Chains A and B, each alone.
Chain A
């Protein structure tokens, strides 16, 4: 059952990696990728720990939650990409104004 914990730790790692990139890089597309990886990390924690049921079937409730989460993630990604394109269409650059170094 320690497989479950190993995957959960990978999930936590993905969350933090994504968080680092979200803050540390200015390009909006990269920030959107970072959020998606953070999301995958959270989902991995949810599902990996649901496997702590011995030989029985894993707990299905987190599975349903993650399917919900994946749909939220794709909706949010689509909206974020659209906003990014609008911002870059007006400024010529896919970064937020003012909060990055040149």
Chain B
């Protein structure tokens, strides 16, 4: 294993930890809003780490660019979708946990 491989492994594991944290939050947090918060925040960072790890292994700039694009699309989608879910929850009258 080269140094790059070690770096990739570290980044992937770090990303995995963030995903794990996000999932634990999804399962344990008390209401829809806090769960959304856990899910989007932790998972977006986690995905960022995983993408960074994979970029190190990419064979070309094009492949690295594609990975970056995937990350951006996911960021964009999860931001919009979590807004929509939260809005719907508010409209349905779900109270915010205090």
Are chains A and B touching directly in their complex (CB below 8 angstroms)?
no
